A = this chain, B = another copy of it.
Amino acid sequence: MLNTENVGLGKVRSSIRELFEYGRKRKAEIGEDNVYDFSLGNPSVPAPPEVGEALKELIENCDPVALHGYTSAQGAYEVRKIIAGYTNSRFGTSLNADCIYMTCGAAASLTITLNALVNAGDEVITFVPYFPEYKVFARHAGAELVAVKTRAEDFQIDFENLKSALSPKTKAVIINSPNNPCGVVYGEEVIKRLVCVLNEHTKRTGNPVYLISDEPYRELVFDDSTSVPYIMNFYKRSIVAYSYSKSLSLPGERIGYIAVNNAMPEFNDVYAGVCGAGRALGYVCAPALFQRLIAKVYDKTADVSVYKANRDRLCSALTEYGYKVIKPDGAFYLFVKSPEPDAKAFSERAKEYELLLVAGDDFGCGGYARISYCVAPEMIERALPAFKKLFESYK
C-alpha cells in the first residue's frame, strides 16, 4: 500500500552502515583505540584552511539576503562561469556557464542525470566492483543496472564482456575512475577503447549511449605517472558528475555539479532534461553558501598526501604478510583478496581481530574486501599486527 520499493530500501541498512554501527558499539565496549574501523569512506583530513576563511569572509561581508537567497535552479551564474573556465583551462574543453548545473553532491548529480536520460525499461551499464547505490539510483529512474565483470587481475575493463552487455536498451554507461571500492584508474588507452566500443555500438544499432563519469575521487590520485583522462575530450555524449565531498573534505555539505558536454548534438535537450529532473526530484538549488564558497576555493584540495602515505604503508605491509592486494592508483580504498572464497566469512573473521572490513559482495564482487584508508595513520600502525594475525589464522 505504501511504496514497497522505498520502504524496503529504508529498512535494509547497507552492510557498510551495519558494520560501522557494530564498530560504534564495539568501541564503547573495548575502547576507541582497540577497534580498527576501515568501514566508511568519510574523509579523515580536514578541509583546507581556505574553506573556513572563505566561509567566514562570506558571512561577514555579504548581504545575508543575497548570500542565503535562492540562486537560479542551475546554480549561481558566477559560480558556474568559474567552474566552466577552470575546467576549460585544465582540460582544454570549451564549456560555458550553461553547461554546468550545480548539485547537492555526487549522488544528486547521478540521480538527476539518470532521470534526465532514462525511460522505463532502459539499461544502465557499470563495471564491477561498483558503488552499491548505482543500483538504487538506476532503479528509481526506471532502469536496470547491468554490472559488467572486469579483468580478474587488475579490475580494468574487459571489452568482450562490455560488448556482450551492450544492448538496444543501453542508455548509459557509468564509469567511476578513480574507483570506489578498488581504487583503479582508467588510463587514456582504456578510455579510447571504451569510446570506440560505444561508437561502434551506436553506429551499428543507431542507439546513442551516454557516458557518465562519476568523479568524486578525481583529485585523489597519488603518483605523477597517474592521470585521469577527461572524458569530454574523447566522447561527445559525455556527462561529468562531480563532487567536492572528498577533494575539499566537505562530504556532509552536499556540493557538486553536473557538466554536460556541449559537443553533443542534442546538448540542449540533455541540459533541459537535467534542469527538469532536478525540479522533479525536489532540488530547488544547491546550497547557496557552499556555491559561493566554491567560487573562492574551486582549485584547492585538502591535504591528500596522508592518503598516499596510508596506501603505501598498507600495501607494503599487507603484501609482506601474504595478502594479495590490487595497488590502488587513486581514491582512498584498497581492495584485498579474501584468503577464503567467501569474503563475508572473511569480514566476519576479521571482526574477531577487531578489524572492520567491508565484504566486496556489496560492490558486486565477492572474494574481496574493501579497506577504507581515509583514517589516522596511527590507527593503521595499531591495526597492522591484527592484519598479520588474521592472515596467519588461515594457515
Q: In the complex the two chains form, is B269's CB within 8 Å of A7's CB?
A: yes
Q: In the bound complex, do residue B7 and residue A107 qualify as a contact, i.e. CB atoms below 8 Å apart?
A: no
Asked if A42 is at the interface (CB within 8 A of a chain B CB), the reply is yes
Q: Is A47's CB under 8 angstroms from B64's CB?
A: yes
- Interchain CB contact under 8 A, A70 and B251: yes
Contact of A111 with B282 in the complex, beta carbons under 8 Å: yes
Which of chain B's residues has its CB closest to A55's CB?
B59
One digit per residue, 1 when the CB lies within 8 angstroms of any chain B CB and 0 when it does not, for chain A 1-33 equals 111111111110000000000000000000000
Q: Contacting A254 at CB < 8 Å: which of B7, B55, B279, B285?
A: B285
Which residues does chain B contribute within 8 Å of A381, judged by CB atoms?
Answer: none
Complex Cα spacing A45 to B69, Å: 10
B-chain residues with CB within 8 Å of residue A283 when the two chains form the complex: 104, 107-108
> Which of B9, B46, B107 is the one whose CB lies under 8 Å from A282?
B107
Within 8 A of B (CB), among A273-297: 273-291
Q: A25 → chain B, closest Cβ, in Å? A: 15
Known: A2-B116, A118-B3. A68 touches B251 (CB 8 A): yes
A34 at the interface (CB under 8 A from B): no
Q: Is the CB of A117 within 8 A of B2?
A: yes
Q: List 8 A-B contacts (CB under 8 A).
A: A2-B117, A2-B266, A7-B269, A11-B276, A68-B252, A104-B284, A105-B282, A287-B290
Q: Specify which chain B residues have a CB less than 8 angstroms from the CB of A251 in the assembled complex.
A: 68-70, 284
Contact A7 B116 (CB under 8 A): yes
Q: A65-B249, A111-B281, A112-B282 are in contact. List 7 more A-B contacts (CB 8 A).
A: A7-B276, A10-B271, A10-B275, A42-B69, A252-B289, A287-B287, A289-B289
- Which residues of the partner chain B approach A276 to less than 8 Å between Cβ atoms? 3, 5-11
Give CA–CA (A42, B284) in the complex, Å.
13
In the complex the two chains form, what is the Cα distance from A117 to B278 in whole Å? 20
Complex contacts, A273 vs chain B, CB 8 Å: 2-3, 6-7, 10
Q: How far is the CB of A248 from chain B (nearest CB, A)?
A: 8
Query: Does A388 interact with chain B (Cβ within 8 Å)?
Result: no
A261 at the interface (CB under 8 A from B): no
A60: CB under 8 A from chain B? yes
Contact of A70 among B42, B51, B136 (CB under 8 A): B42
Q: Does A63 contact B (CB under 8 A)?
A: yes
| Cβ-based interface call for A250 (8 A) | yes
B64 touches A249 (CB 8 A): yes
Query: A42-B69, A56-B59, A287-B252 in contact; A7/B64 too (CB < 8 A)?
Result: no
Q: How far is the CA of A110 from the CA of B284 in the complex (A)?
A: 12
**Nearest 4 A-B pairs (CB), nearest first?**
A252-B288, A9-B276, A10-B276, A111-B282
Cα distance A69–B43 when bound, in Å? 8
